[in-house]
Amino acid sequence: MSQKSLVLVTGVSGYLGSHVINQLVIAGYRVRGTVRSAKVPDNKKAFAVYGDAVEIIAWDDLVHGTHPEAFKGVDAVIHVAAPLVGREATAELAISVSVDGSLNIIRQAEQAGIKNFGYVSSVVAVTMGFAQGQFTPVTDQDWVPITKETVLSNKDTDKMTVYVAEKVLSERAVWEFVDQHPHIELATVNPPFFFGPFAPGHRSPFEGNTFNAQSISTTDMLWGLIKPSGAHPLAPCLVDVRDVARALVAALKAPPTSEVGRKRILLSGEWRQLAEIAELVATKRPELASRIPASQKTELPVKVKPMVDNTRLKEILGLEVTPWETTVLDTIDALVNLEKEWKARGVDITAQ
């Protein structure tokens, strides 16, 4: 692919999607991004920062929508759009939206003659051991053993388990499709929770009359470190959102599957204790030290150990991950800037 190739990216209005656009433009690609119709005007305005390198189009129904015009002239597709945890009314609907939506996109891409496909999965499709304090190393061959039948047969299944099922089943479905269409070059990335600053085109956290915490995605967890409420306990597993975006872009020029095998790319930063993260922020940003609640300075009851091997990230894509200290501090700086912008409008978003 030439660097002036056109890449279709789904879900560009979000935290990760906007970073994917940013990395594509930096690499010299042209981008066609999809958002819901209601979001088109705001996103056209936000992504105008990239000039004519980025165009925004509407796609409201990823599950059933057919948009041949969206794939016209496209050389590759990166599928980022995915339902949020607990957004759908039932577990069955949540799984259907995730699985059928992903398959709808890749089917239409294949029918349009597109052979290069990138897909965002999650580390929760690989392991959930860290949730139980079990830090057993994992590889790209590992999968969480969960089935649709198991999830739907239990009426008390929690939202996180449903989310895990969405990730496992949708990624498996995409790989099965590619197994049946081996001319497609697929690369999936499986990150843990990602943090980092906001991309230039991600303006939704700064706009509107009221602040929407969902607009800042998983950075809300790190924000809890310096909020009076300490609203969200920070998981020990993290990666820089810019690394996830860079991996998706680098995969467009990765060696073919025939040479390197299945391109299921695990990537993760260093996993740290919450107390270590709190100490870093207090030391490097001393003006924030008094804002860190005591509850955020505690150690987890188990020792955090490395789980994810980034070897294939380096071997196949030639990438290294950003140091965790850089990720944490850049995220905190971005959140403080967000607070200041809202405060200038008379709104204290730290109270939310």
Q: Which residue has the higher pLDDT, 315 or 352?
A: 315
Convert the pLDDT of each residue in 241-300 to its tens digit.
999 999 999 999 999 999 999 999 999 998 888 888 889 999 999 999 999 887 666 666
**One-letter identity of residue 347:** V
Q: pLDDT tens digit string along 291-337?
A: 988 766 666 656 667 788 899 999 999 999 999 999 999 999 999 99
CA dist 65 and 267 (Å) reads 32
Q: In the prediction, which pLDDT does 272 show?
A: 83
The reply to whether 301 falls in a domain is: no
Whether 345 maps to a domain, the answer reads: no
192, part of any domain: yes
The verdict on residue 343 lying in a domain is no
Average pLDDT of the chain to the nearest whole number: 91
Which amino acid, residue 169? L
Cα distances from 343 to residues 60, 76, 229, 277, 336, in angstroms, run: 34, 41, 18, 26, 10
Q: What is the pTM of this model?
A: 0.94
Q: What angle do CA 43, 174, 170 make, to 5 degrees?
A: 75
Residue 77 lies in a domain: yes
Tell me if 219 is assigned to some domain: no
What is the extent of the structural domain holding 33?
6-206+237-269+307-321
Q: Which residues contact 283 (CB under 8 A, 6 or more apart)?
A: none
Classify 269 in phi/psi space as left (phi over 0), alpha (psi -120 to 50) or beta. Answer: beta
Which of the four pLDDT bands, split at 50, 70 and 90, describes residue 186? very high
264 falls within a domain: yes
User: Is 261 domain-assigned?
Assistant: yes
Q: How many domains does the chain have?
A: 1
Q: What is the model's pLDDT at position 307?
A: 82
CATH code, domain carrying 36: 3.40.50.720
